[in-house]
Amino acid sequence: MTEKATELSRVLVIGRKRDGRNCYDPEARRELVEACLRSGVSVAAMALKHGLNANMLRTWIGRYQRERNFEIGERGSKQSLPVASSAFAQVVASQPAIAKVRSSLAAKLPNGIRIELSEIGTNELSAILRLLCELPCSGSTPD
């Protein structure tokens, strides 16, 4: 993934709190989050480049998206939001619908034997027919 236009127009860290945590400029934060939402941008790489923890940057992205969705719902009109496209596509494995075909077989063999099979599946029917075809016919067997 490549970063596109990752330079911020403002300084991200503007100070420190008493406990040593950084204070971030809200506009620079918003700019960074919007840059992360562009297609093809790695959030982890952006966090590394700007000296941030990737989890914190993802938290900012989530907050930004929730706030934007709230604003859109409140006004009733939709704006075009920058959307992150995933490199992964959801794959759903599906089985083709196989209809259960039930067949029946009735046969009278030359030696007088009668075979009647009902409600038999196609797999079983094909196996039985193969076996019957392999049997020698009564005309070819010596008496």
The reply to whether 121 falls in a domain is: yes
pTM, two decimals, is 0.47
CA atoms of 26 and 115, how far apart (whole Å): 85
Note the pLDDT tens digit of each residue in 87-107.
666 666 666 655 666 677 787
The reply to whether 25 falls in a domain is: yes
The reply to whether 24 falls in a domain is: yes
Q: Are residues 114 and 67 in the same domain?
A: no
Q: Are 103 and 120 in contact (CB under 8 A)?
A: yes
Q: Are residues 71 and 109 in the same domain?
A: no
Q: Does the pLDDT value for residue 120 go beyond 50? A: yes
CA atoms of 130 and 122, how far apart (whole Å): 12
The reply to whether 129 falls in a domain is: yes
| Structural domain that includes position 109 | 102-134
Note the pLDDT tens digit of each residue in 10-58.
889 899 999 999 999 999 999 999 999 988 899 999 999 999 999 999 9
The reply to whether 95 falls in a domain is: no
